[in-house]
Amino acid sequence: MKRLAPAFLVVTLLLPAALAGASTAPASPELVAVKFHADWCGSCKRMGPVFEDLRNKYDGQPVLFVELDLTNGTTRAQAEYLAAALGFGEVYAANQGTGFILLLDGESRQEVAKLTADQDIKAMGKQIVAQLESR
C-alpha cells in the first residue's frame, strides 16, 4: 500500500489542474457580422464574394460571421431559429430585408452598423476595424 500512496498523491494534485484547463470556455466574439441573404437577391449575389473576403481577412479576429438564408420558407425558418439561438432574434425580426450585412455587438447582440452593396470592401473593412477598436 505504501507504493500506491505516491501515485494517488500525484493524481490528486495534478488532476484538478488538468481539469481546470479543460473546462475553459471558448472565447465569445466581440463582433457578429450577419449577412441577410436570398438566392434571388441581386445585391446578395454581389455581396457573397465580399462577405467571404471579409471572413478570410478577419480570420483569427474576434468576429463571428453568420449568413442567414431567406430564400424560401424553409430556409427562412432555419434562419429565424439560428438568430434566436445566437441571441439576436429581435434584430432578425426587425430586419426582414436582404442584401446587407449587420454588425452586432458581441455582448449585447444589438446592431452597431449596417453594411450595404453600395459600399466597397475597403469601407466595410474600416467599419469592422472601427467597431473592434471601440470594444
Tell me if 99 is assigned to some domain: yes
Q: Helix or strand or coil: residue 9?
A: helix
Residue for grid cell 481577412: 57
Kindly state whether residue 22 falls inside one of the protein's structural domains. no
Which domain range does residue 39 map to?
Answer: 31-133
The answer to whether residue 124 is domain-embedded is yes
d(C-alpha 16, C-alpha 11), whole Å: 9
Domain count, the chain: 1
What does the pLDDT read at residue 10? 40
35 within domain boundaries: yes
d(CA 115, CA 78): 23
pLDDT one-digit tens code per residue, 19-67: 455 556 778 899 999 999 999 999 999 998 999 999 999 999 999 999 9
H helix runs in the chain, sequence order: 4-22, 42-57, 73-85, 89-94, 121-133
Instruction: Say if 83 falls within a structural domain.
Output: yes
Residue 41 within a domain: yes
Cβ-defined contacts of 75-81 (< 8 Å, 24+)? none
CATH number at residue 98: 3.40.30.10
Q: What is the C-alpha to C-alpha distance for residues 128 and 61, in angstroms, rounded to an integer?
A: 10
Question: The pTM is what?
Answer: 0.79
Residue 7 to residue 45: CA distance in whole angstroms: 62
Pick from 3-7, 51-55, 108-112: least confident:
3-7
The total of other beta-carbon atoms located within 10 Å of residue 118's CB is 10
pLDDT of residue 14: 44
In tens, the pLDDT along 69-99 reads 999 999 999 999 999 999 999 999 999 899 9
Asked if residue 13 is part of any domain, the answer here is no
87, part of any domain: yes
What values do phi and psi take at 101, rounded to 5?
-125, 125
The C-alpha atoms of residue 125 and residue 25 are separated, in whole angstroms, by 28
The pLDDT score that the predictor gives to residue 96 is: 82
Q: Strands of 111-116's sheet, edge to edge?
A: 63-69, 31-37, 100-105, 111-116
User: Do residues 38 and 44 lie in contact, with contact meaning Cβ atoms separated by under 8 Å?
Assistant: yes
